Amino acid sequence: MLFDKNQIHTLNDQALPDHRESFEYLSHRLSQRSIQVNELIKKIREFQVAIPSWALGTGGTRFGRFPGGGEPRSLEEKITDVGILHALNAGSGAISLHIPWDIPDNVEKIREHAAANGLLFDAVNSNTFQDQPDQELSYKFGSLCHTDARVRQQAVNHNLEVIQYGKMLGSKSLTVWLADGSSFPGQMNFRKALQRTLDSLKEIYEGMPADWKLFVEYKPYEPYFYHTVIQDWGTSHLLASQLGERAYTLVDLGHHLPNTNIEQVVATLMMQGKLGGFHFNDSKFGDDDLTVGAMKPYQLFLIFNELVEGMEDPRSANPSPAWMIDASHNLKDPMEDLLQSVEAIQLAYAQALIVDRAALENARDSNDPVLAQEILQEAFRTDLRPLIAEARLQSGAALHPIRVFRQLEVRKTLVGERGTKSLATGL
């Protein structure tokens, strides 16, 4: 670790009086509303969001990339960085690997390093949207959907290999983001491509250990610009239903057409017991790269409102979804960006937890949209930041993660160790 946990505690101590004041006031007000503050804090502390290994480096666009310094040069250093984040916020206790970028040289050492940082290995991710230097056949025209059976087999084998790496490290799920698609009308036979994709996914599904889950992501476009084989939740759900019980849909916030009611999609999937995973980010236009909560925090809250409703429904058959941040850090320091992201997620989760559900259902039953809005906004408008800070404090993390990150000069230390020109493997 680049810093001693005591350094965090010392900095916390300086901020403590101010925190105490605001937390006590908030506790008092929440208690007045019959909210169990301790229960709330417990849930927030248990909520962990995975950090993808490729998020630790500076991202870019097709027009270029403006790298910062001190980026991790290896899987080990990526784990170190997530460990730092987790030490600061106690909310990012898992890392999600991407193969082939993160093939471990020494599995045992990697597992130990992760354990020392308090990290689990979340879903593993395959990559059939790029050609690797030594790759036999190209994915230029698709992978699992390719017209050529050999390309499909190569892509299936890659996924099976990813599962093997995941098994070694203790992952329990595979996320397939299938970029496959076409850029021009006529280029691909929609139905044949979907059928081939289903057949390929079946092979992968069969190759998973019995306690693994398969997450099928969807996206309307990019990197192909006319058609994506798995364009929407409906298509993903169709595939997941035909694959089997342990296949689920994965929702990435940024992978929707303009104005999509994502919270409704979430509710429908949970109702079917088919929401497997969630990727967080935010966007204003046709991208999926910005810090979650930076653009549409109310929408994030509304989505969490559905997630909480689904998770707390005793009759729900939906397993607890896998949570991961999936953004691209082009301008902000990636680690600061991730700290902001986790905080925004925790905040939305906490806001959803304090929604007065009984009153809301009453308002709904009496068709009173005015009151329903008041109830939701009461939860959203309440300033819950002291609660999140308290949860961190109780977990031994920083009251103000970004402030501490800057006070401890973490980035400067990393640049000192790794140089200004280090380059993270990944995008």
Reply yes or no: is the peptide bond before residue 52 cis, omega within 30 of 0.
Answer: no
Please provide the DSSP assignment of 163-179 as one string.
HHHHHHHT--EEEE---
Residues 93-132 that bind a copy of itself (CB under 8 A): 129-131
Work out which of 190, 412, 416, 420 binds a copy of itself, going by CB under 8 A: 190
Work out which of 6, 34, 259, 320 binds a copy of itself, going by CB under 8 A: 259
Q: Which stretch binds a copy of itself (CB under 8 A): 42-50, 103-111, 158-166, 265-273?
A: 265-273
Instruction: Measure the CA–CA gap between 142 and 196, rounded to whole angstroms.
Output: 11
For a copy of itself, the closer of residues 74 and 268 by Cβ is 268
Q: Does 239 bind a copy of itself (CB under 8 A)?
A: no
Instruction: Measure the CA–CA gap between 405 and 271, rounded to whole angstroms.
Output: 40
Q: Does 360 bind a copy of itself (CB under 8 A)?
A: yes
Considering all CA atoms of the chain, what is the largest pairwise distance in Å, rounded to the nearest integer? 66
Min dist. Cβ of residue 233 to a copy of itself (A): 6
Q: Does 147 bind a copy of itself (CB under 8 A)?
A: yes
Min dist. Cβ of residue 340 to a copy of itself (A): 7
Q: How many residues bind a copy of itself (CB under 8 A)?
A: 107
Work out which of 270, 292, 307, 345 binds a copy of itself, going by CB under 8 A: 270
Strands 64-65 and 60-61: antiparallel
Instruction: Measure the CA–CA gap between 327 and 29, rounded to whole angstroms.
Output: 35
Residues 331-350 that bind a copy of itself (CB under 8 A): 331-333, 336-337, 340, 347
Q: Does 407 bind a copy of itself (CB under 8 A)?
A: no
**In which residue are the tokens 């027009």 written?**
63
Instruction: Measure the CA–CA gap between 321 and 310, rounded to whole angstroms.
Output: 10
- Per-residue contact string for residues 305-324; x = within reach of a copy of itself by CB under 8 A: xx--xx--------------
Please provide the DSSP assignment of 56-82 as one string.
GS--EETTEE---S----SHHHHHHHH
**Token pair belonging to 161:** 């290999």
Q: Does 420 bind a copy of itself (CB under 8 A)?
A: no
For a copy of itself, the closer of residues 122 and 282 by Cβ is 282
Residues 381-400 that bind a copy of itself (CB under 8 A): 381-383, 385
Q: Does 295 bind a copy of itself (CB under 8 A)?
A: yes
Residue 317 phi, psi dihedral angles, 5° rounding: -95, 5
